[in-house]
Chains A and B, each alone.
Chain A
Amino acid sequence: MKQSAKLNTVNKWWQYETTASQKWFQFGLKDLYYNRGLILRFTRRDLLASYQQTVIGPFWIFLQPLLTALVYLIVFGRFAKMPTDGIPPILFYLAGSTIWSFFFDSLNGTMYTFISNTHIFNKVYFPRLVVPMSIILTQAVRLGIQLVLFALIYVFYYFIFHTASPSKILLLLPLLVLLTAGFAFGLGLLISIITAKYRDLDNILQFFLRLFMFATPVVYPASIIPDKYQALFWLNPLTPIIETFRAAFVENGKIPYYPLAIAGIEIFFLISLGLLLFKKRELDVMDSI
């Protein structure tokens, strides 16, 4: 453990120490590595428990994004007549809503790390980072399953309608998933610490989170945004992520390199800040819950 480093010079005997405050920049990575099994165990618990006593069980994982995409297709495609940049509408909406719901569910889980685990956190010690990490992993498993569905629908389109030929951009998919997960993780850590203390902020955040979906190209393409707002619009890390994913299904799709790089930098800072604050405050916030 890192805490022991300084201790060794004081007294070789002791291995661990708890004192009045956590020092900055101590992430307890060794402790976290030791608890890697617990991350998997929590993920398993959440996946097993969420579809207990439901009739169609894990099929909900398929059905949710499909139903969402259909609703978007009807409301935004048929009624509002939003363009889809030449991508078959169902693929267009499915791509947007799959990435968005991965982000939304991950963030909505991690931001309540303390509030929904108060009981366990008041009784047992383990590195608290185990919880948000397992939440992201759970959502990643669900995303994996949803991407299989996406692939099936895509294959169907490709062979029946011969549209939307795949491009090399598809190889970027793991990176896109990683960026989305990182965005939700960093933001979630930050919010979890703040809402644990100031509970009323939670309602405002929920409201902004819903608004944020409309600032993200989920139900419309980035191309409909007026020129003067384009720069601001692309600062949202999810914009280049979703646009890149969609670009994989049009001929001559372009990767938005710049915005993607900026998103990477933003996410890196968000994770760093989130981790820093989380590790500093993970035990102290429990006194105020």
Chain B
Amino acid sequence: MRELVLKAENISKYYRLGLIGSSSLKQDLQNLFVKSRDGLTVEDPQHIWALKDVDFELHAGEVIGIVGRNGSGKSTLLKILSRIARPTTGSVRWKGKISSLLEIGTGFHAELTGRENIFLNGQILGLSNAEVKTRFDEIVAFSGIERFLDTPVKRYSSGMYVRLAFSVAAHLRSDILIIDEVLAVGDIEFQLKCIAKMKEISRLDGKAILFVSHDMQTIRNLCTTGIYLEKGRIKLIGDPPKAIAGYLNLDTQLSKHTYSSPHEAPGNSYIKIKRAELENSTIIHFEFWYTAEGNENLSIGIMLYNDLGQCVFDLASAPTRMENGLIKGACTLPENFLNEGQYVLSIAFIGDQSKLLFDFADCLNFNVQDNGKNLRWYGKRVGIVRPEFPIQLLNIDRDGAI
């Protein structure tokens, strides 16, 4: 068994929503009074458990990949592990040095030169002056921006900036590295270089890495363990493919929900789902019982995610005044629009364009097979969508040879 380097026990984080920061003294005194009386047990609608009872261990040489949708608590978890925020309950214990890369180029100063910024950023990330000095040539070589070392970074292109910033980060040699989705920037070539570097750090140097990514490919290639977070809780922990499948909800094909009465249907006091069904992977049918509080306008939002967890689109219907009772709706996706692959969709019910009445999250999933049969091209194409917009060709001059 490899050496245990970090143990998170029972960590939870409670956040206040809404008017963060602009709290007034009066409000705070009121809160103080409420808190001292009732503790944290009150389920205040203005508060949310961003993380709840999260437990895991990290060993030397291990790479843990965390997947989960936006708002599932990934960032909060990374913040707590990086010692930027405190957990509301529980504890994190570790040995050795933790470095966190929640962003690359933290603390870069636009007016200063690349050289100055290497030292500045390196030291902010926890290296000593001497350590930056000994790795300086390596950092510069990795970034490939030798010529611009004495130019202020505000004159850099965004690509150069990212390269320099990542090069500093790649030369950290902490026992535990905590990395947010920083790989999502930069060109493909540089991303591959970075992934290779991360492999080297974990496998050869035996450092532990914990990182968040929306790129399932990277998670599959790099991680030894996967964690799937949902609504602040660990839903699944284990082999990366398992966590990914759990996250994408692909274990079970869900293409139909039907409920005969409102009592057994999913939903709440506003919305009860009667039916949600997908026809031929193109038509989304849904029926629901609607109980409005007042004269609200209702609109429907449909969000579609692909198997990389990327949002393909976020549709919203025009707000309309609807009568209480059973309502039926449908949405037809055009044919020849989605690329091959797995998709998951959510249906949201919104009152007055601002109030989320109910989110029927990840309710349907489906698979798109290649249907571009008339094209002389086989295999999956790149791109999130694969529409068939016509491209017109026309001869305008027959004799105009080059």
Say whether, besides A18-B86, A20-B86, A49-B109, A199 and B22 are in contact (CB < 8 Å): yes
Beta-carbon nearest neighbor of A37 in chain B: B129
Q: How far in angstroms is the closest Cβ of chain B from A280? A: 11
Residues B2-29 near A (CB distance < 8 A): 4, 7, 15, 20-25, 28
B96 within 8 A of A: yes
In the bound complex, what is the Cα–Cα distance between A14 and B126 (angstroms)? 20
* CB neighbors of B among A201-222 (8 A): none
- A7, A18, A19, A22 pick with most chain B CB within 10 angstroms: A18
Residue pair B107, A120 in contact (C-beta under 8 Å): yes
- Which of A20, A38, A48, A287 touches B90 (beta carbons < 8 Å)? A20
A121 touches B128 (CB 8 A): no
Q: Is A126 an interface residue (CB 8 A)?
A: yes
Q: Are B94 and A14 in contact (CB under 8 A)?
A: yes
Q: Judge whether B94 and A283 touch: CB under 8 Å.
A: no
**Chain A residues in 8 Å Cβ range of B82:** 124-125
Tell me the residues in window 87-131 of chain B with beta carbons closer than 8 Å to chain A beta carbons.
Answer: 87-96, 98, 100, 102-103, 106-107, 109, 111-112, 116, 119-120, 123-126, 128-129
B380 at the interface (CB under 8 A from A): no
Complex Cα spacing A286 to B77, Å = 15
A1-26, CB under 8 A of B: which get 1 and which 0? 00000010001011111111110000
Given A199-B22, A288-B21, the answer on whether A49 and B83 have CB atoms closer than 8 Å is no
Interface centre among B79, B90, B96 (most CB of A within 10 A): B79
Cα-based distance from A59 to B4 in the complex (angstroms): 55
Q: CA A102 – CA B85 in complex, angstroms?
A: 33
CB distance from B86 to the nearest CB of A (A): 5
How many residues of chain B are within 8 Å of chain A by beta carbon? 46
Residues of chain A contacted by B84 (CB below 8 angstroms): 121-125, 283, 286
Partner of B95, one of A15, A21, A200: A15
In whole angstroms, what is the CA distance A123 to B129 when docked? 20
CA distance A22 to B87 in the complex (A): 11
Indicate if the CB atoms of B120 and A125 lie closer than 8 Å.
no
A41 to B91, CA, bound (A): 32
In the docked arrangement, what's the CA distance between A121 and B91, Å? 21
Q: Are A13 and B95 in contact (CB under 8 A)?
A: yes
Is A199 a contact of B21 with CB atoms below 8 Å? yes
The minimal Cβ–Cβ distance linking B78 to chain A, given in whole angstroms, is: 10
Is B152 located at the chain interface by the 8 A CB criterion?
Answer: yes
Q: A120-B124, A123-B106, A124-B125 are in contact. Are A286 and B23 (CB under 8 A)?
A: no
| Closest chain A residue, CB of each to CB of B79 | A122
Judge whether B86 and A19 touch: CB under 8 Å: yes
Note all chain B residues with C-beta closer than 8 A to A49: 109, 111-112
A198 contacts the other chain (CB 8 A):
yes
Q: Is A289 an interface residue (CB 8 A)?
A: yes
In the complex, how many angstroms separate the beta carbon of B375 from the nearest chain A beta carbon?
Answer: 46
List chain B residues, Cβ under 8 A from A11. Answer: 93
Q: How far is the CB of B107 from chain A (nearest CB, A)?
A: 5
Minimum C-beta distance from B389 to chain A (A): 41
A-B interface, 6 closest residue pairs, ranked by CB to CB distance from nearest: A125-B83, A14-B93, A52-B111, A15-B95, A37-B129, A123-B106
A sample of 10 cross-chain residue pairs with beta-carbon separation below 8 angstroms, ordered by A number, consists of A17-B93, A41-B120, A52-B152, A119-B106, A120-B124, A124-B124, A197-B23, A199-B22, A283-B84, A287-B15
